[in-house]
Structure 1
């Protein structure tokens, strides 16, 4: 078998040359992953020419998990002493390792081992994307998680996370995520991590004169993807960055630069299905962490194929990075998010982080605030830390900030709070009447121990900054504003959904006449009516299905409109 280093080096220069016998134009590498197609398979290209007269045939033998699986031979036809060959054996996407042996007549000339077929992903950003093993706790590799060499861009191997910025490294949470995907779905995974610590978003932008210039981070990652043969079939990209841009006024250009980067990704990775963004954690960085996190929270409003995952409440945060268990929790959260979208799992409840939808004063005295989320949230118990003989307690109500309040440290404008999970609400009782028109959740920085608002699955709510605080709860439908009540209950399943969702309404009417007067309508986040289901009042209690196949991914509002009030429920269409 040809030495792996020699094989990689020869491919780097474009051709494989076997003196006096065979010249290869294309041939796979040891440990290479081939992205699967829509038929869960991939064709492997083995092409070249035979320049040794007297050989009659070329044979390819494929081995699956060490056993001969297929054997095909082609006769050689010479023209001026050269015979061309083109072989395209297929691999299947499964937990199986394939080997390829090539023979001239019966003489073996090369063998390629441990090639697989599966899914490809990219990771990019700064240090929490690189995800170093700070605790020296990663002592495993996974047979089914692969990556590429980092420095010369050629060569494949088993992914690793015991170091960073080295061949085959994918980071602690990257390796764990790959293992979760492969173990749960029976498919190999390739991950290429192009992250670099302490980098601004500007450092990751595409160099327009030469997008594949490897002196630029963007070009280095793109070149690795091209040389790996995965560029056109990357399924998703994971982005964890922003701390550096919170240090100075460069945060003002963050949204614009992200938009530039987003469109470059969509152009250079045409098969990209989803982009997953981690919202930053209050910690290391500068005075503008709030602003960066708020931009990240709102990305899905602009980009329908982006989803944002929270990082608060993961635990094991050292003020900047994460210990080994924290990065593992990060991988689990991300897998729970992607497993439904990309792998068809039905275990979706609570997989997405709670996101604020509305904030308003509950009365004209302005001494109580209601926060409405897109799903149920739980009010946490106090956390505490004991140092020597002193115990310090931290309470959730101390980390909400009304306008003009300090964005850091303990704040005493909220006296107490509680959650109403069945209504997706959190109630904050203020210490006094407030004139504030905005509210912020969590400090700008220096907040690692909690407590946190979480959903029933334990996923932390996304932080929000200067979110509008209305004087009363109102819903706008065209030019009509009306108070909402919770006398009825809207149930939806599944949520998120794709493309079918079933909507059931329980209670809220005493007679059939009252039920017939109800209207069930669906609006997008801009308030535009997209579907009127009012023609099926008799089915409210048994369930009405909505097929959203013709609509884009995003947030939709289900509204039950009655004579004197409105009830609504947020749903999410994910493709």
Structure 2
């Protein structure tokens, strides 16, 4: 039977001076659901009577519509359905679970019941239908649709983790197998009230299901390539220093804190201890203060590992700028690069992205490619995907000889060096400059100088604002910014 409008109230949350748009049944003279009717004043009586049938069963445990259950090592999950029969006329409770081309039926004649069906992870949804039967009774008492098993990822940080729509849309990346829970709003009351699973959306921010543009791109590629549903939780908040994101240890679920709002969402969704990966993009608002940033991140990482579990993987974007608008400041970015060695995190690069406006990114040439790079790295780490050309180029040492500097990279992946990329290198301690740069097999960048390197003490790679030229690997990830001594 086709759905019908029964009763509608519109503009309920608008200002107190606004007029409600409401109606019974379908509006045949305008919007079917009475939107824009502005007609509340036409009703001479304002009495609503609700008729409710007595419940036959009290359901105490069941999935939500659209819920993602974290998959286990057997590529599936148990989804309990439990409750108590409340009507003496009910003789039997039956659960039907349909999905992946099959239907399973579970039955109980006890007053209290608990079923534990198992679902498999994949691009298929499950429906759960609970039916109560007895003499003269045959009623569906609960139904849940769109349930899947899959993986949970968290995105956190400043505005480039929010990844709003600045230029170009990402809505084509949305998928029925990309989910989210609650809302990333900074309003604690609204955050605490939204305890519902949603389909993930990429272009809008601070709304139910908002995950950001590069996260939706990353998620879509994971779903399409590895055939596993993904839940994305974005807790980002633009323009904030690292202190803003810390946990209130006295009240970890404090809805007045950014950490508490995200933690409550994960906990209410039933996934707090099942986060597979956390992706962090923050540092512009720390204004190149490396000591403050590293101390704050170390504390945050410790709390994440305590709350999310030791099995989670942690990914850190080296920011393009700190603060926005300049790439000459290097203290914070070099400190972030070193986190890969000292904190056990995996680094991601923002160099190589030409759709950059000095702080944020367009979708094409920016957030889309960020999503592609994150997909490649997570694919390697979590899904057994290819490893060649995935890690962003990262130096280990710089040596001098004659009129050349040699940057030894940690990977032997071939690199593409655009013409003019030498301009982003700054030599310290000598009255020379870099005149050209070339990739040499074996994981080396050979920099030719304008003169002998005898007095050179250090080398910095700053990157730049805006578009190329770049030094990139096969996936387009750019050389990490660095500041290293020369030996």
- Give 1:51-90 correspondences, 5 Å limit: 51-64=86-99, 69-76=103-110, 83-90=111-118
Give the Cα–Cα distance (whole angstroms) in 1 for the partners of residues 117 and 195 of structure 2: 22
Q: TM-score, normalised by structure 2?
A: 0.82
Give yes or no for the alignment of 1:462 onto 2:487.
Answer: no
Q: Secondary structure at the match of 2:334?
A: helix
- Give 1:411-430 correspondences, 5 Å limit: 413-420=433-440, 422-430=441-449
The one of 118, 139, 152 aligned to 1:120: 152
8 Å contact kept, 2:373–2:476: no
Cα 1:19/1:210, change in 2 over 3 Å:
farther
Greater strand share, structure number: 1
Q: Residue in 2 aligned with 1:449?
A: 467
Give the Cα–Cα distance (whole angstroms) in 1 for the partners of residues 352 and 458 of structure 2: 24
Question: Structure with the greater relative contact order (CA < 8 A, sep ≥ 6): 1 or 2?
Answer: 2
Cα 1:272/1:246, change in 2 over 3 Å:
farther
Structure 1 stretch displaced more, 273-282 or 109-118: 273-282
Deviation readout 1:347-395 (Å, 9 max, x if unpaired): 22111011111111114xxx3211111234546233xxxxxxxxxxxx2
Report the Cα offset of residue 159 of structure 1.
Answer: 0.4
Cα 1:18/1:342, change in 2 over 3 Å:
farther
Q: TM-score, normalised by structure 1?
A: 0.70
8 Å contact kept, 1:283–1:448: no
Deviation readout 1:206-242 (Å, 9 max, x if unpaired): 1111001111011111110001111111111111111
Deviation readout 1:486-515 (Å, 9 max, x if unpaired): xxxxxxxxxxxxxxxxxxxxxxxxxxxxxx
Q: Which stretches of structure 1, 4 residues or longer, exceed 3 Å deviation after superposition?
A: 17-20, 286-289, 376-379
Give the Cα–Cα distance (whole angstroms) in 1 for the partners of residues 177 and 335 of structure 2: 36
Structure 1, gaps ≥5 residues long: 4-16, 77-82, 383-394, 406-410, 471-575
Q: Residue in 2 aligned with 1:339?
A: 379
- Give 1:177-326 correspondences, 5 Å limit: 177-246=218-287, 249=289, 251-270=290-309, 272-282=311-321, 285=324, 289-304=329-344, 306-325=345-364, 326=366
8 Å contact kept, 1:159–1:168: yes
Q: Residue in 2 aligned with 1:148?
A: 181
8 Å contact kept, 1:402–1:438: yes
Report the Cα offset of residue 397 of structure 1.
Answer: 2.1
Give the Cα–Cα distance (whole angstroms) in 2 for the partners of residues 30 and 20 of structure 1: 20
Give the Cα–Cα distance (whole angstroms) in 2 for the partners of residues 239 and 204 of structure 1: 11
Give the Cα–Cα distance (whole angstroms) in 2 for the partners of residues 417 and 270 of structure 1: 43
8 Å contact kept, 1:369–1:429: yes
Give the Cα–Cα distance (whole angstroms) in 2 for the partners of residues 18 and 302 of structure 1: 62
Q: Secondary structure at the match of 1:423?
A: coil
Aligned residues: 421
Q: Residue in 2 aligned with 1:552?
A: none
Give the Cα–Cα distance (whole angstroms) in 2 for the partners of residues 373 and 18 of structure 1: 70
Give the Cα–Cα distance (whole angstroms) in 1 for the partners of residues 369 and 264 of structure 2: 31
Q: Secondary structure at the match of 1:71?
A: strand
Give the Cα–Cα distance (whole angstroms) in 1 for the partners of residues 87 and 102 of structure 2: 27
8 Å contact kept, 2:76–2:149: yes
8 Å contact kept, 1:233–1:271: no
8 Å contact kept, 1:136–1:162: no
Report the Cα offset of residue 455 of structure 1.
Answer: 2.5
Give the Cα–Cα distance (whole angstroms) in 2 for the partners of residues 155 and 294 of structure 1: 40
Q: Secondary structure at the match of 1:55?
A: coil
Report the Cα offset of residue 19 of structure 1.
Answer: 4.1
